[in-house]
Structure 1
Amino acid sequence: MSRFKRANNADTMAGFRTTQPEPAVPNGLLKAARKSGQLNLSGRGLTEVPQSVYRLSVDPPEEAQQDSSFGASDRWWEQADLTKLLLASNQLTLLSEDISLLPALTTLDLHDNVLKSVPCSLGALQELQQLRLSHNQLSSLPVEVCSLKNLRSLTLQKNLLENLPEELGQLENLTELDVSSNRLKALPSGLGSLAALQKVNVCHNQLSCLPDGLSQLTSVKLLDCSNNLLSDVPASLSHMLSLEQLYLRHNKLRRLPQIPAPALKELYVGNNQIELLEPETLAGLTAISLLELRDNKIKVLPEQITLLTTLTRLDLTNNDVGTLPASLSLLPDLKVLLLEGNPLRGIRRDLLTKGTNELLKYLRGRIKEEPEKVQEGQTAMTLPSQATVNLHSIKTLKVLQYSEQQAESVPEEVFDAAADHGVATVNFSRNQLTSLPPRLLDFSSSLSDINLGFNRLSCCSPDICKLLQLTHIDLRNNQLSDLPAEMKNLSKLSSIILNYNRFKSFPEVLYEVVSLETVLLGNNQVGGVDPGRLLKLVRLYTLDLSNNDLLSVPPELGLCSSLRSLSLEGNPFRAPRAAIVAKGTDAVMEYLRSRIPA
């Protein structure tokens, strides 16, 4: 017996065999994919997709070549079609035309690779619903991709795309399109045909304009156009009836876009060159909750900011705002007001650091105070803009301003200076006027916005009804108890502010002004409202009846389906309960509808 015992497990043929390389995709993964229909190969360092993956649904598995029996769970001929293929975060430079051998795919994820192109055979994947191609080096998109009728999500961000195929409009079921961080200088006109789109991201490109066709995207809820070269935004965007979030940060806008989209809740226009907030533009933001205006050049915050009764957050950081209108504190839902980096006068720095609540409390205190008479010689220098009549404002902005003068009448020279200049906005607020200045009729063909707030008007002259171009009337803080019946002739009137007056009922004539979108009647003595007649105001989005004498709220008010903001706080009614009112308009409307007798 030999003294040298051979190890029982030694392989005597080891030196004669060739080593089999490890497969790029383990057979176990392929076997599992045949059962589940899903294959995840993300983050495996692949430089190419193995043929075994492309042919997964074509070739029988290795087990089929061997003489072995199969259990019920291993019947390869009953395998599931591959529907989900994840190839993200590899080093793929090429995708083979053989991808067409996987026609059942619904999800194909190729993001975070180094693809410079994708094959035309992608068009054969007619079941595809998600195609992720972001973070690659694509310079073009094959037109065949546009034939994928079931595609719902197409993500192409962080590529080198300079244009998109016009045929993109054929993707009739597409709900999400992300082409951000590319080199696009224009968007295809066919984009407007994507009726199912809900989310569009075109930020970080080189767009200088947006196609009018975007207005046809009535299902879009989010549109991000930030970090482009936009100097204007088409007014037709107001036809995007579902638009809730609009991002326009870091562009070249010089004015706030006039886009009264009825559902718009969040508007981001920070880091532009906006200098002026136009009253009619603000009046159109009937459902706005968040307004970001930071890092612009805004100098004046107009009184019409109080039209934004649904506003909860206002960001004015890093602008040129010198004064704040005290009426800002009347916004019922404002919770966050950001003002850092503005040259504010008349407000102590320590007050700004105490937060929004303290600041609004201070502004409310200023409303109650009687404006003091401005004494001569208060400033060492009188700037041209502080003169009795600001000619620059009249000529360039079409604004005639004679406010905070505590005057009992408006001097004739004020009207003379504005003659023949097509004045569109008149601000005579914070004076001692007891009647409408007769010469306002000089501007009957052009005047669209008039502010007579904080005066001593006890009646509203029918002459105001001759200003047929009026779209906005501000009569807050007066002594009014009625409005002239002739006001029904103002067919363009969209908003009227009557807060802090003496109305004991909803003004009868307003039921007949069908163009109205905003009615503010807070802090009066209104005892009732007729919901049946309110139903005729089909454009009425905002109704403020807070702090009045309503003993009951008619359930039929819940049928006013156009209302987006209904303020009822501070009334003596018992139903709906305060807890329901605090939840907001939707909760109140739902409660009221539930109380309508069957």
Structure 2
Amino acid sequence: MRGIPEAVCKLLRLENLALDNNSIELLKPDCFANLTQLRSLTMNNNRLTEIPNHIFDSNKLLQLVNFNVNNINSIGLYVFSNASILKNLESISNRIEYLPGRAYLINVTILDVSNNLISRLDPLALTLLQEASEIRLHNNHITSTVNDILANNSNLKSLTVTGSAMRGIPEAVCKLLRLENLALDNNSIELLKPDCFANLTQLRSLTMNNNRLTEIPNHIFDSNKLLQLVNFNENNINSIGLYVFSNASILKNLESISFR
């Protein structure tokens, strides 16, 4: 299909709409205006290039939207202005370059914009997502300071910021006291700060593959008693301290492949 059929736009009681793996290029605002009961929309693997402003103004019950694997280069500032209970937003593997601030996404719990071309984020884009438990930003070109964009995400449990050329772990990450899963692969991180991990007492998994680490200092994980998985593959590590994991008594998986 190259477009959403008119008959679909007349299904006034429609709650779930899946139009994945088609050739749809355009979203018609007047179509979604009729679908006031819509709760989930997936349009993965199509040919969309943009999500126009106000397209979901009538869809106040919308909770899940997936636009993965399209050619989207922009998402309008007011796309989700009326979708106040939206929980899950995914726009993976597109061509998005900029993520603007959107105060009306405050109830989103999962945001995934990985595998795009994002180099800049408005500081409000993430700081107002105070209900977010999972944010995935991997494989972008982010140059904005992560300290700014994560300042208020106290509920975050899972964070992925890989392939973004970071040289150190941002202070804002160290303040995510509920964080359980942290992935910082494919960056340029050289140093681990013990005082950072001392705060992350809920941490269960840590992956820092393909960075520039040279050592894992003693006692760095003394406060991380729930740690079960640690991956330090493809670094420049020449030593792992004798007491690095002395308190990580339930650690199940430790990988440090291709180190020096």
Count residues with an aligned counterpart. Answer: 251
Q: Which residue of 1 aligns with 2:85?
A: 173
1:125 Cα deviation after fit: 0.9
User: Using CA pairs below 8 Å that are at least 6 residues apart, which structure has the higher relative contact order?
Assistant: 2
Q: Which residue of 2 aligns with 1:151?
A: 62
Deviations 1:484-540 (A, max 9, x none): xxxxxxxxxxxxxxxxxxxxxxxxxxxxxxxxxxxxxxxxxxxxxxxxxxxxxxxxx
Q: Which residue of 1 aligns with 2:106?
A: 195
Given candidates 254, 279, 284, the residue that maps to 2:194 is 279
Matched, 1:334 2:232: no
| CA distance in structure 2 between the partners assigned to 1:256 and 1:144 by the alignment | 37
Given candidates 227, 230, 247, the residue that maps to 1:311 is 227
| CA distance in structure 2 between the partners assigned to 1:204 and 1:152 by the alignment | 22
| CA distance in structure 1 between the partners assigned to 2:100 and 2:33 by the alignment | 20
Given candidates 262, 265, 275, the residue that maps to 2:177 is 262
Matched, 1:291 2:206: yes
Q: Would you say the 8 A contact 1:230–1:251 is kept in 2? A: yes
Give the residue type in structure 2 aligned to 1:330: S
Q: Would you say the 8 A contact 1:238–1:262 is kept in 2? A: no
Q: Would you say the 8 A contact 1:203–1:225 is kept in 2? A: yes
| CA distance in structure 1 between the partners assigned to 2:158 and 2:2 by the alignment | 37
Q: Would you say the 8 A contact 2:120–2:142 is kept in 1? A: yes
Worse overlay, 324-333 or 150-159: 324-333
Q: Would you say the 8 A contact 2:108–2:132 is kept in 1? A: yes
Q: Which residue of 2 aligns with 1:118?
A: 27
1:230 Cα deviation after fit: 2.0
Give the residue type in structure 2 aligned to 1:177: L
| CA distance in structure 2 between the partners assigned to 1:131 and 1:215 by the alignment | 25
Runs of 4+ aligned residues of structure 1 deviating over 4 Å after TM superposition are: none
Q: Would you say the 8 A contact 2:216–2:237 is kept in 1? A: yes
| CA distance in structure 1 between the partners assigned to 2:99 and 2:239 by the alignment | 41
Q: Would you say the 8 A contact 1:123–1:144 is kept in 2? A: no
Q: Which residue of 2 aligns with 1:239?
A: 152
Matched, 1:104 2:13: yes
Worse overlay, 231-240 or 198-207: 231-240
Give the residue type in structure 2 aligned to 1:133: M
Q: Would you say the 8 A contact 2:112–2:136 is kept in 1? A: yes
Given candidates 129, 137, 147, the residue that maps to 1:225 is 137
Identity, % of aligned positions: 23
Q: Would you say the 8 A contact 1:313–1:334 is kept in 2? A: yes
Counterparts in 2 of 1:488-567, with a 5 A limit? none
| CA distance in structure 1 between the partners assigned to 2:245 and 2:209 by the alignment | 20
C-alpha change, 1:301 and 1:289, in structure 2 (3 Å) is: same
Given candidates 233, 241, 248, the residue that maps to 1:325 is 241
Q: Which residue of 2 aligns with 1:216?
A: 128
Q: Would you say the 8 A contact 1:107–1:129 is kept in 2? A: yes
Give the residue type in structure 2 aligned to 1:339: S
C-alpha change, 1:333 and 1:236, in structure 2 (3 Å) is: farther
Higher helix share: 1
SS at match of 1:102: coil
Q: Would you say the 8 A contact 2:117–2:141 is kept in 1? A: yes
Q: Would you say the 8 A contact 1:265–1:289 is kept in 2? A: yes
Given candidates 94, 101, 106, the residue that maps to 1:182 is 94
Q: Would you say the 8 A contact 1:238–1:261 is kept in 2? A: no
Give the residue type in structure 2 aligned to 1:161: I
Q: Would you say the 8 A contact 2:122–2:149 is kept in 1? A: no
C-alpha change, 1:334 and 1:230, in structure 2 (3 Å) is: same
Q: TM-score, normalised by structure 2?
A: 0.89
SS at match of 2:259: coil
Q: Would you say the 8 A contact 1:212–1:234 is kept in 2? A: no
Deviations 1:400-450 (A, max 9, x none): xxxxxxxxxxxxxxxxxxxxxxxxxxxxxxxxxxxxxxxxxxxxxxxxxxx
Given candidates 71, 87, 93, the residue that maps to 2:2 is 93
Q: Which residue of 1 aligns with 2:215?
A: 300
| CA distance in structure 2 between the partners assigned to 1:101 and 1:309 by the alignment | 55
Give the residue type in structure 2 aligned to 1:120: P
Higher strand share: 2
Q: Would you say the 8 A contact 1:210–1:234 is kept in 2? A: no
